[in-house]
Every structure is written in C-alpha cells, then in structure tokens.
Amino acid sequence: MNYAALIPARGGSKGLPRKNIIDLAGKPLIAYSIEAALGCAAVGGVYVTTDDAEIASVSVQHGAQHIARPAALATDSASTFVAIEHAIAVLAEQGQKPAHIVLLQPTSPLRDARHLAEAIAAYEAADAPALISVCEEEHHPYKNFRVDGSGRLEPLFDAASLSKPRQELPKIYRQNGAIYIIRTETLLREKSFYVAGCVPYVMSAAASVDVDTIEDLHRCEEMLEASKKSTG
C-alpha cells in the first residue's frame, strides 16, 4: 500500500454536534470524504480513526475501515497528529506500512476524487516531502491592522501596503483543511504535516468550504443542489 487515506473523526464536536455524521444532501458528512478516497485509484486503503461507535458504524457502511481511537486521543486538546500517529501504529501492527499518508478532514465534503488524484499527481511530480491543499486568501493580510499598547491602530505589515491595489500585492494562500499528503517517515519524524519543501495544491474557494457551523452546512447543501441541477 503506497498511499493510505486517514480520516480523523472524533465524536465530541461542540460547535455543530455530531457533525461528522450529520446529514448533508442525503448522506452523512463523513461519507463524502470516504467516497473521495475510494474513488481515487492511487489510494490503497481508506481508514477512519474514531472513538465513536456510531461514526465507526456509518464509516464502515460507506466502505471505510475502522481504527479504534483511544478516548485519551479524542479530547478537545488532542492534536490531529497524535490520532494519525496512533493510526499508523495500528496499521503497522496489522502488517500495513504505507509509504505516504493522505489526511482527509471529514469537514471538507466538496473535495472529491478528482481533487485527490490531482493532488497526488502534483506531489509525485514535485518529488516533495509533503503537500497541503490551499485556496487564495479572500482578505489580504497586508491590509490588516493590529492595536498597539496605547489602543492605536498600526499596520500589521507596512503602511504602504494598506493603499496598494490588491493586484500589486503577492498572492497569499491559506490552508483549507481538505488534503494533506506526506511521507510517513517524515510525518513521524517531524510530527507535523508542514515541513520545509512542502508544495501547494490550489483549490477554489467554493471547493474549500469547511463545515464547522450550521450555516456552512446549508451553504454546502445549496452548492451540491446547484451542481446536481447543472449536470442533470
């Protein structure tokens, strides 16, 4: 197995309760990420790491394999890395040693198999240690302020940038949480999904919607319905 897709989905979401399996246009939210991974020929295994029995059951129903995550690794303060590190250890115990890890956040339902295949191709073409999906930042940080110790505004970067046309400023990208690809040995050594030499996979703002609130969920529903109408 060259690429293993790992989908972290703990049960204790606070902002949008049970969001990983909440209904989105007739399917559980997590099903979109599972289907994206299953639809990508380069991915050799699709695993959901979760502490939650219902999430595990739903994930298996949609074609993923389940990795039981200990409760201690599913707290609000537990990092994604420790959950993935545990999942890699479980796979190793099963005799599975993927060369590369593909991290898919279940809250990115508009990332599909095409995005995933393109990202893996870009990662391989660059011979990079890691890849992170990004989208262009809508609000350019060069236009931002901070408040100084006396309560006055000062430019976050420099005064000249505040009045420059956006076209004259460098493009700025933010990680959208949809796709992370990294060599397994690099991840275990660096304990981070970002390492020097990492390359980007640029996605549209529309495909980069992250479901964190009910408003995000409704926005995704509208976009999926619009896509069905345009292709139907």
Q: Tell me the per-residue pLDDT of 38-58, one tens digit each, with 9 for 90 and over.
A: 999 999 999 999 999 999 999
Write the CA distances from 50 to 65, 68, 180, integer angstroms: 11, 6, 18
pLDDT tens sequence across 137-163: 988 999 999 999 999 999 999 999 999
The residue written with tokens 């703990």 in the block is 10
The pLDDT of residue 123 is above 90: yes
Q: Which of 11-15, 114-118, 146-150 has the lowest mean pLDDT?
A: 11-15
Average pLDDT, the chain: 94
Residue 107, φ and ψ in degrees, nearest 5: -90, 10
The pLDDT of residue 229 is above 80: no
Whole-structure pTM value:
0.92
Other Cβ atoms less than 10 A from the Cβ of 158: the count is 10
* Rounded Cα gap, residues 154 and 158, in angstroms: 8
Write the CA distances from 168 to 151, 160, 200, 213, integer angstroms: 30, 11, 22, 34
* Rounded Cα gap, residues 229 and 232, in angstroms: 5
* Rounded Cα gap, residues 105 and 24, in angstroms: 15
